[in-house]
A and B are shown apart, each in its own frame.
Chain A
Amino acid sequence: MLKLLKEIFRTGEATVKYPFAPMPVCKDFRGKPEHKAEDCIACAACTVACPANAIGMETDTAAGSRTWAINYGRCVFCGRCEESCPTGAIRLSDDFELAVGSKADLTRKAVFTLADCACCGKPFAPAKEVDYVARLLSQSARSAEEADRLRLTVSTCPACKRAQDVHQIAGMGIALQMEAGKPVKELETTP
C-alpha cells in the first residue's frame, strides 16, 4: 500500500490541463491553414495542388472578380497548398480549435479583382498576379526599355499574344524569303 502510494506520488499527474490552459503543440504542427490574403496573388497553385478540393476558385468575368475559398471542413491538413504557394501566403498554423456549430463558419473567402488585357480590354488574370510577375521580371531586366516591354507582354492575354505572333509571322513573308534565300530581318517577337 505504501509502496503503491509512493509510486503514485512519484509518477505525478499525467492528465494535461487543456482546455483550462493552452495546449502546447510540437514544432511544425499541421493545424489550420492560415491564408494571408494581402500576400496572395490568386495564381490558383494551391487550388490545383489541393487533393481534397478544399480550396477552390471561381472566376466571374462579368463582375471582373476571382473568389478564392477554403473549406476547413474538407481540408486534410496535408500542406500541399503551403508547398506550392509561390509567395508564402498560405501556411499551416498551430491552431487546432476548429469546431463550429454551423457549417458556414468553416469557409473563408477572399475576393480579388481581374486585370484587363492591355490589347483587347477583356479581363484575363488577377490584377495582383499580373502586377507581381511584372515587378519580378523588371527586377531582372537589363534595361528600362526591356522592363517596359516585359510589363506589356505580361499584361496581354494569351489570345492576343497568339494573334500578335500570327500577325508578325505573316509579316515575315516566310515563303517569299525562303525562295529568295535572304537572311530574315530581325523582328521583335513576344518572349
Chain B
Amino acid sequence: MNVPVDPKTLVAEMSPVSTSEQIASMKKALLKTIQRSAYVYRVDCGGCNGCEIEIFSSITPVFDAERFGIKVVASPRHADILLFTGAVTRSMRMPALRAFEAAPDPKIVVSYGACGCTGGIFHDLYCVWGGTDNIVPVDVYIPGCPPTPAATIHGFAVALGLLEQKLKAETHVELAGEAAALPHPDIPYALRVRLEREARRMAGYRQGRDIAEEFMALLEGRAHTPGSFTLLECMMEAIAEERDPRRAEIIGRLAEVVQQAIRGEAP
C-alpha cells in the first residue's frame, strides 16, 4: 500500500550536452587568436533579474565592458560568449538549450551568479535543475548574488584568458594542539556577553561586534596601565575622543552596562 517512494526515482537524470574534442581545440584557438570583440548573449534561465541588472550596470560608462570589446548582442547566432543566469527552471531548460544550439561553435559558456553556478538558494527547489552545468558544459563560473559589475568584468577577463583565477580549492587539516583563542580572558564571561549583546542590539551584528571588541580592548588596556584613573573617567575620555555621535552613544551605553555590572544590578 503505502510504500515509501525514493525521491531519486521521480527525478529524470538527463545527460548534459557534451562537446567533441575538435570543438575543444577550436575553443582554445579562439581564446589565443581572438582579434576582435567578444559578443555576449544573455540567456535568462529563470533568474530573479538581479543578475541582469548587474550585467547592464557593467556595460554602463562607469564600468564600461565595451572598452575590452565585450558587447551584448540580441541574438545567440552572433554570440561568442553565452551568459547563463538563473537556476534553470524546468520550463526554461528547452529555451536555454535552443540558445546553446543556436550559437556558433566555438563558444564560451559562462555561468553567472550563485543560481547559475550551483542553483544558489534555489538549489533544492522542486522546479529547478540547479545550475547551468546540469544542462550545458560550462567554462567559467562567476559566483555572487548578484556578482558586482567589477566581479563581472573580472569573470569576463578570466573567461577570455586575460587574468588568472584567484580562488583555489583548499583543505585545512587540524594541526596537533590547535586551539581557538579565548577572547578577552581578563573580562568576566558574563560581562562580555552583556556588552556584546548590548552593542549588537544597538548597532547590528557587524558593527556591534566591532564596537564591542574595541570597547573591551579599551577596558583591558586601561586595566593594565598604572594611574589614578577611575573607570568612569576613562570612559568619559573615550566618549569625548569619539567624533561619531552614534558611536559615542553606544560606547556611553556600554560604559553604563559596566557600571551596572560593578554595582551588581541585574541587566
Instruction: Please measure, in the bound complex, the distance between the C-alpha atom of A49 and the C-alpha atom of B168, giving whole angstroms.
Output: 25
Q: Total A-B residue pairs with C-beta atoms closer than 8 Å?
A: 168
Q: Is B4 an interface residue (CB 8 A)?
A: no
Alpha-carbon distance A87/B192, docked complex (angstroms): 13
By a CB distance below 8 angstroms, the chain A residues around B141 are 73, 99-101, 103, 106
Q: Does A14 contact B (CB under 8 A)?
A: yes
Complex Cα spacing A38 to B171, Å: 13
Mask: chain A, 32-61; 1 = CB below 8 Å from B; 0 = not? 100001111100000000011100000000
Given contacts A72-B167, A83-B205, contact A98 B142 (CB under 8 A): yes
Q: Which residue of B lies closest to A76 (CB)?
A: B145
The B157-199 residues at the A interface (CB cut-off 8 A) are 157-159, 163, 165-174, 178-183, 185, 188-190
Residues A110 and B62 in contact in the complex (CB < 8 Å), given A77-B144, A83-B205, A139-B189: no
Question: How many angstroms from the CA of A101 to the CA of B180 in the assembled complex?
Answer: 34
| Contacts A74-B123, A98-B143 given; does A89 touch B180 at CB 8 Å | yes
Q: Is A140 an interface residue (CB 8 A)?
A: yes
- Cβ of B105 within 8 Å of any chain A Cβ, yes or no, is no
| Complex CA–CA separation, A132 to B61 (angstroms) | 52
Least distance between B250 CB and chain A CB atoms (Å): 16
* Count of residues in B whose CB is under 8 Å from the partner chain: 57
Which residue of A28, A38, A101, A128 has the most chain B CB atoms within 10 A of its CB atom? A101
Chain B positions within 8 Å of A107 at CB level: 169
In the bound complex, what is the Cα–Cα distance between A171 and B182 (angstroms)? 39
Chain A residues touching B, majority SS: loop
> In the assembly, what is the distance between CA of A95 and CA of B165, in Å?
13
Chain B: residues with CB nearer than 8 A to chain A?
Answer: 61-64, 67, 114, 117-121, 123-124, 133, 138-145, 147-148, 150-151, 153-155, 157-159, 163, 165-174, 178-183, 185, 188-190, 205-207, 209
